[in-house]
Chains A and B, each alone.
Chain A
């Protein structure tokens, strides 16, 4: 941890204000809300991976007393409910464009909230039952007779592009939705032709699921008088959900209200509107009764968006001294059954070369569909996958061609003088000191002392391995954010902000910003989010944009508050506004000292103020930030393997992430710890498995899907660097994803290093005990 002694404002390691409320059961999650007379929804989901829906007969179900309605794709279309409004590519100006090589459009198909013609994955909704209790709705669902024509399915990513693969969308004729080439093929091939060495990898970054602690839920109320629909639900942000829900329901956006109080985890997979949210709203409007739906955990496994799932072949060309010359390859991103989101593919392929000085590169990128749950960006979308590829390639090259792993990185890592640097795909990295950060983490992880630890472990019969990985992360996301600040005469400051916390600690860290700029204690700052009747503009929490953008708008709004305050103070003290200063929460004017709240009170009590200074003392900042940020860092991981059973233990884990400026070091460490757990979880444990023949989901509960737990980890040695970001007015870099981005690669580098004496050069994730045991015992 960087040494900081601040106890307030930016840099203070404050305990989170919200935690006492959350850990004592006083959070207000969606399921905590209820309405008198609410009905309950249960979704009948497809048991098949791919099946034509021939007929749905709900007669028996509707005959059960208490069953109010059974709705299917037929009613959905009849009522004009629109498909989910997916934007498949990230449209941020800093992200690269993804045009098809042949000039055709990216294939996109309508994603209806209820399957209308075919069910395309296990768990896809085929009917919605509304009844007076959940149990009754489930009973009714069992009485719905659905006639299916079961079709061949495809789930495995490599299989999707094969000639004889089952086709998910007949309209497209194949599963390939786009075929994009990035970088320069000519230059790259020329560089490869001259290369002394070429390192190769073929790997599949397996599919995982987000597993937020709070399963999704929704409660909708329709007000007949006003014609408004109010939806209480947790998502990545409330404002976007309002527009998306209004769009799907064919309503004006002002007729939709979203309420979102506490949200138990997002990680991106919860980032946008879900079919269920729209259906709950539709049912409330249609039946003119409040309706409620709460997912059970097993339902989450077959209805939450899933993530990762990238198949990669890649090559790295080196000269005889180990200088990287070029990189090329092909990425296939499995979007699942619907053309919902291809941005992880895009956000990965645009930084394949990471922060190494690689003059030229060329990659093919293909988004594909399959009979699996749709995928979405998940913590650091697309980057952990490609950082894994890059860092594995370096270790493969080092081993195969006899270079030292660290020296190879030192030789090729961009120097601070090289920055800003345009990578071969066109991304412009801002600033930083990549070498310094890597050296810092090597020191923290005691890289040089490792061989002694390896020997000591060996004496105990254990295989110890170490790995290092660098990373860069492109933070873009929705560019617009707004903050509204009101200084209340009663001594409180209200900050309305368009970005809601799903556990990131905004109530504390955003308050610290207001404290820094306005000099009022954190406990007097109220962060107000999560009701679209109050919050009009905001982009939500994703792509490292929460603090990055909130800090800008809170800062600018605070500056405006101070500017207004100076003018009021000048009037109060009969002083020249240009002479008024603001220090330690007080305006100093003509010998008088007036607090921020004195000024706010004057604004509400005096009748001699110009219109723009009348109460309340309020300011708004609404900004569109078109610059990307490039947080980066390096991790070192040390593992110990029990060769008898193949179990992998994380023995040591060190991180240095450049956060530019740490607003709350304790919260940053918390983000890093959670991020590491998610990354190591993917490297060693987590995997969504579909049966390759039937397309059945095999990991439908915690009995089979391995979640990382606290006892899987040691205490982390988390440090950070604070090299101010040159593209952010306050120097802040995102800090929420860095724990995850390099974790896949660094963990697998350590595992492969531990297994070096067994001829192991690569292993696909997750490195489960059986897989490791097979590698040691050379069993297929």
Chain B
């Protein structure tokens, strides 16, 4: 780690102004992605702004037909939420599959989404459930949020405060784990929303993406058979030691199929 100044503001306003003052200041939530990269000296920040002391940033509630999750809500809270198990079990299951208990006890949904790791799980839920990212400045639609590899629409001094999810009729997340890191080689989130089905894929490309051809087919008939004969148009996919692009392309098809089967087996809400 390089030397840095540590701040622990008690209001969003203070946090934002600390960030605004320093071009190399960085917010910290659970620290599960930020700290390892700092420890490995892969990133260098003059100031770390810890969000832990800011009130009202965590919690899961239902409001006007939506689920609202505070940015500092930890993975373990999402995984064990009775509300989510009743209304949006796919999201609880996704959170249960992140990392290990230590990571789930500290890592947060806001941190994960802001980090925009191409292999992270949460981004698929944000896009598939047509969520809205609520920030200190504005509301950002899911489709406009993830802009590139580790890149989002957030400004330097803009903080996520909550994520507002639509409640789908049925949804499921299927993750094909990377054998070493256990992040997603391919994660497929399939959601049957009011009027349309959305399919979002994480792990396979530079950032989460949707598959229009699958969405159209599934909107017509919500069953895995509907995917037969449909050729998805995929963006250019990642290649690494454990999965080449063509293997990933195949896994995308397979994981969507499994997610559709799992979702179709659920009771519609």
- Checking B41, B242, B243 against A138 with a beta-carbon cut-off of 8 angstroms, the contacting residue is B41
Residue of B nearest to A642 (CB): B254
CB distance from A707 to the nearest CB of B (A): 7
* CA A699 to CA B41, docked complex, whole Å: 18
Contact A770 B247 (CB under 8 A): yes
* CA A234 to CA B247, docked complex, whole Å: 43
Contact B244 A770 (CB under 8 A): yes
Are A707 and B180 also in contact (CB < 8 A) when A135-B1, A689-B241, A699-B241 are? yes
Contact B247 A773 (CB under 8 A): yes
Whether A705 is near chain B, meaning CB under 8 Å from some CB there, is yes
Are A135 and B3 also in contact (CB < 8 A) when A298-B40, A768-B242, A770-B247 are? yes
* CA A768 to CA B240, docked complex, whole Å: 13
Q: Could you mark each residue 276-318 of chain A with 1 if its beta carbon is under 8 Å from any beta carbon of chain B, else 0?
A: 0000000000000000000000100000000000000000000
Within residues 126 to 155 of chain A, which ones have a CB less than 8 A from any CB in chain B?
135, 138-139
Are A645 and B176 also in contact (CB < 8 A) when A298-B40, A702-B181 are? yes
Q: Which residues of A contact B247 (CB under 8 A)?
A: 770, 773-774
Within residues 216 to 252 of chain B, which ones have a CB less than 8 A from any CB in chain A?
240-244, 246-247, 250-251
Residue of A nearest to B240 (CB): A704
Within residues 678 to 731 of chain A, which ones have a CB less than 8 A from any CB in chain B?
685, 689, 698-699, 702-707
Q: Which residues of A contact B240 (CB under 8 A)?
A: 704
Most buried by B among A685, A702, A704: A704
CB distance from A677 to the nearest CB of B (A): 14
Q: Could you mark each residue 174-186 of chain B with 1 if its beta carbon is under 8 Å from any beta carbon of chain A, else 0?
A: 0010011100000
Q: Which residues of B contact A706 (CB under 8 A)?
A: 179-180, 242
Q: Which residues of A contact B250 (CB under 8 A)?
A: 773
* CA A644 to CA B179, docked complex, whole Å: 16
Interface size class of A (residues with CB under 8 A): 20 to 34
Contact B40 A703 (CB under 8 A): no
Q: Which residues of B contact A645 (CB under 8 A)?
A: 176, 251, 254
Q: Which residues of A contact B242 (CB under 8 A)?
A: 704, 706, 768-770
Q: Which residues of B contact A704 (CB under 8 A)?
A: 180-181, 240-242
CB distance from A279 to the nearest CB of B (A): 22
Q: Which residues of B contact A135 (CB under 8 A)?
A: 1-3
Looking at chain A's contact residues, the main secondary structure is: loop
Residue of A nearest to B1 (CB): A135
Q: Could you mark each residue 765-776 of chain A with 1 if its beta carbon is under 8 Å from any beta carbon of chain B, else 0?
A: 000111001100
* CA A702 to CA B100, docked complex, whole Å: 14
Contact A698 B179 (CB under 8 A): no
* CA A298 to CA B250, docked complex, whole Å: 32
CB distance from B145 to the nearest CB of A (A): 25
* CA A139 to CA B254, docked complex, whole Å: 47
Residue of A nearest to B180 (CB): A706
Contact A698 B254 (CB under 8 A): no
CB distance from B259 to the nearest CB of A (A): 13
* CA A321 to CA B206, docked complex, whole Å: 58
* CA A707 to CA B182, docked complex, whole Å: 11
Contact A698 B180 (CB under 8 A): no
* CA A135 to CA B38, docked complex, whole Å: 12
* CA A135 to CA B41, docked complex, whole Å: 10
* CA A699 to CA B251, docked complex, whole Å: 23
Q: Could you mark each residue 623-659 of chain A with 1 if its beta carbon is under 8 Å from any beta carbon of chain B, else 0?
A: 0000000000000000000001100000000000000
Q: Which residues of A contact B179 (CB under 8 A)?
A: 685, 706, 768-769
Residue of A nearest to B248 (CB): A770
- Checking B180, B243, B246 against A702 with a beta-carbon cut-off of 8 angstroms, the contacting residue is B180
Q: Which residues of B contact A139 (CB under 8 A)?
A: 2
Q: Which residues of B contact A698 (CB under 8 A)?
A: 241
CB distance from B16 to the nearest CB of A (A): 29
* CA A290 to CA B243, docked complex, whole Å: 47
* CA A147 to CA B139, docked complex, whole Å: 51
Residue of A nearest to B255 (CB): A645
Are A703 and B41 also in contact (CB < 8 A) when A135-B1, A770-B243 are? no
Residue of B nearest to A699 (CB): B241
* CA A139 to CA B4, docked complex, whole Å: 13
* CA A699 to CA B244, docked complex, whole Å: 16
Q: Which residues of B contact A702 (CB under 8 A)?
A: 180-181
CB distance from B227 to the nearest CB of A (A): 13
* CA A774 to CA B244, docked complex, whole Å: 11
Within residues 171 to 207 of chain B, which ones have a CB less than 8 A from any CB in chain A?
176, 179-181
Q: Which residues of B contact A138 (CB under 8 A)?
A: 41
Residue of A nearest to B258 (CB): A644
Within residues 245 to 274 of chain A, which ones have a CB less than 8 A from any CB in chain B?
none
Most buried by A among B181, B240, B246, B247: B247
Residue of A nearest to B186 (CB): A645
Q: Which residues of A contact B251 (CB under 8 A)?
A: 645
Q: Which residues of B contact A707 (CB under 8 A)?
A: 180
* CA A73 to CA B250, docked complex, whole Å: 51
Most buried by A among B179, B181, B246: B179
Residue of B nearest to A135 (CB): B1
Q: Which residues of A contact B241 (CB under 8 A)?
A: 689, 698-699, 704
Q: Which residues of B contact A703 (CB under 8 A)?
A: 180-181
Most buried by A among B180, B244, B250: B180
* CA A644 to CA B244, docked complex, whole Å: 15
Residue of A nearest to B244 (CB): A770
CB distance from A711 to the nearest CB of B (A): 10
* CA A773 to CA B248, docked complex, whole Å: 11
* CA A167 to CA B179, docked complex, whole Å: 35
CB distance from A645 to the nearest CB of B (A): 6
Residue of B nearest to A138 (CB): B41
* CA A135 to CA B40, docked complex, whole Å: 11
Q: Which residues of A contact B2 (CB under 8 A)?
A: 135, 139
Q: Which residues of A contact B41 (CB under 8 A)?
A: 138
CB distance from B116 to the nearest CB of A (A): 17
Residue of A nearest to B253 (CB): A644
Contacts A769-B242, A770-B242 known; 11 new A-B pairs at CB < 8 A: A135-B1, A645-B176, A645-B254, A685-B179, A699-B241, A703-B180, A706-B179, A706-B180, A707-B180, A773-B250, A779-B246
Residues of A within 8 A of B (CB): 135, 138-139, 298, 644-645, 685, 689, 698-699, 702-707, 768-770, 773-774, 779
Q: List 27 A-B contacts (CB under 8 A).
A: A135-B2, A135-B3, A138-B41, A139-B2, A644-B254, A645-B176, A645-B254, A685-B179, A685-B180, A698-B241, A699-B241, A702-B180, A702-B181, A703-B181, A704-B180, A704-B241, A706-B179, A706-B180, A706-B242, A707-B180, A769-B179, A769-B242, A769-B243, A770-B242, A770-B247, A773-B247, A779-B246
* A-B CB proximity, top 5 nearest: A706-B180, A703-B181, A706-B179, A770-B247, A644-B254
